[in-house]
Structure 1
């Protein structure tokens, strides 16, 4: 079945005496005489969602967990032991950065960051105890696309477990395990998979053997997703392809508009031909740059904040991948923990604005950003109120 059909039908009830078309919510911690218990993610809702996610990713198995960070940490804990070494791309989601730099180090796991775009540089970072290569399909917040095919091949050559966070790409743009040969894919299901800003969840998809180990970890560490939340994610996934394709198309339109605006100094979006990653985006994702973009507002932090305050359709809030357009300034939230020096090294300007495009009418979004940037220009005295 094609992805759109899998999203609707995979994991749904097919043999139930009551005959529900929609998967019921089994809001029970335990089950009569079966040994089924919620903590190992073993309820009917967990199993149904896992089957749907494995189908979308084309993997043997999957597991739904309590958050995106639960998925990331469970996958890394499963793949690593004290004394091991992991290669990570330099541009990482903030929570992953904290886990790698602080928690893994405390547990005796070292790391080296590499430029995900520069495959020839990776060999020098290898150590005898290197066990994992960790990448992101599209980075946050500068939406960079690394050399993912090379990362998978490099991992196979050197016997590493390759793990990729594909939250920004979703299975709609790329299935990393089946298309690129990655061993493990993780998602913050809070984002596109659920798509409605009402659930915190995560997912890991991989071989049956790896998911069995992740399940053991989740059982011991208590990373279980609530059955109702699993049901919500399962429902959200059914419209994944429709939502993501519209979000990608609208993001491209908004990126083009901002790229030509006098009050914008730089736009980050891999779907623009001017992007350094455009050719790779075409190769990996069919030219779609995803539903997230970022841009720097001329006039500094004050100008960026004035623009955020003037938006009427877009919502100023963290997160992404939802039906509503969410806008944030990473220096204030998602990457605050890096500190000024860390953000500067990562290329994250204080006036950088990240936009996670929703499914609103694209013309309404364009009008909203146009009027908000007009407010900035008036505040800076570039144009008068009459203009």
Structure 2
């Protein structure tokens, strides 16, 4: 029988304290472990310390994957996973609107490995079909996307890719496994920046990859060479944080819906991007494939407003780079996550100077609304 989400979050992946029977997983600080026989050994760089091993099991169970690995950052997870399934001469198709760090890696590094690429609108099926080449080996997507929360049909994408013999990889950071499980929809590999929702407290940097045993064996082989394992102290903090993952994300999702509806009716806001709104063009698709709409939204501040003054006038909501924490945060994608794009590229993606990305926390939404209202009217 499938366990409930709260039960998985609390109990799956626990490191058993066989000596003192403690209720909390012990932290293993050792980097050297005695051999038992000659076949296997424990070494943190090999991703198999007790804390690393059991946390990976928790993430695999949440994602309905056969196996998972924990990395030192989201980018370590993304780059290692990609280079595990791609080789010189291969071609990868990527969703046009993705995290800036992923885009930078593709543009700046892939040519060194002889890997070609195309960024396209993967929801344009004619364009997707015409972009596939005989050497295309991977289709990379991010849904909901950063920062406009666009939704990609995972079932259709995975079906299309399987017919072509192409692997699929999905960044599930914005949704978290609480709100979306891409593997259940046919996706081959799932990526997380665990710094965000999985960690949830803005105090660790980590990443995760989940897939089949066969694919994860390839990822493991590459990961040992690249050395992207996560220190056990941070693994322990992440495991502790994930015990409340379901509770946190459900509250953030509920709050985000409330804030999106509030912003949609505000005269200070020109447009709101949130798949939970019925006015959103992706609403029905998100409703069909997601378990919840998530805690992320974006909105365009009225062009008559002073964006800098808005940020400076916020008292409780913080203007910071990351997302997914229990505290609410905002940022300007133009100045941060997508700053390395040219103005023309940002314009083509719909990223305007007045666009604000809003990671909704677990605070009382009436307090968040009051903070926004004061900041909206700050230049009156």
> 2: distance between equivalents of 1:151 and 1:235?
34
**Corresponding residue for 1:206?**
211
1:245-284 pair list within 5 angstroms? 245-284=250-289
RMSD over aligned CA atoms reads 1.3
Kept in 1, the 8 Å contact 2:194–2:208? The answer is: yes
Kept in 2, the 8 Å contact 1:40–1:216? The answer is: no
**Aligned: 1:231 with 2:236:** yes
After TM superposition, which residue ranges in structure 1, 4 or more long, deviate above 3 angstroms?
none
Q: How many residues align?
A: 374
Secondary structure of residue in 1 paired with 2:106: helix
More moved, 237-246 vs 291-300 = 291-300
Alignment match of 1:24 (pick from 4, 22, 26): 26
> 2: distance between equivalents of 1:147 and 1:123?
15
Deviation (angstroms), 1:259: 1.0
Consecutive unaligned residues of structure 2, counting only runs of 5 or more, are: none
**Corresponding residue for 1:182?**
187
**Corresponding residue for 1:371?**
374
Secondary structure of residue in 1 paired with 2:235: helix
Kept in 2, the 8 Å contact 1:116–1:147? The answer is: no
Kept in 2, the 8 Å contact 1:85–1:130? The answer is: yes
Residues 263-297 of structure 1: CA distance to partner in whole angstroms, max 9, x if unpaired? 111111111111110011110114x3211111111
Deviation (angstroms), 1:370: 1.2
Kept in 1, the 8 Å contact 2:17–2:26? The answer is: no
> 1: distance between equivalents of 2:238 and 2:15?
16
Alignment match of 2:12 (pick from 10, 13, 16): 10
**Corresponding residue for 1:145?**
151
**Aligned: 1:127 with 2:133:** yes
Q: TM-score when scaled to structure 2?
A: 0.96
Secondary structure of residue in 1 paired with 2:247: helix
Residues 307-355 of structure 1: CA distance to partner in whole angstroms, max 9, x if unpaired? 1111111011011110111110111111111122221121100111111
Deviation (angstroms), 1:105: 2.2
Secondary structure of residue in 1 paired with 2:300: strand
Alignment match of 1:112 (pick from 118, 124, 130): 118
Deviation (angstroms), 1:110: 0.7
**Corresponding residue for 2:58?**
52
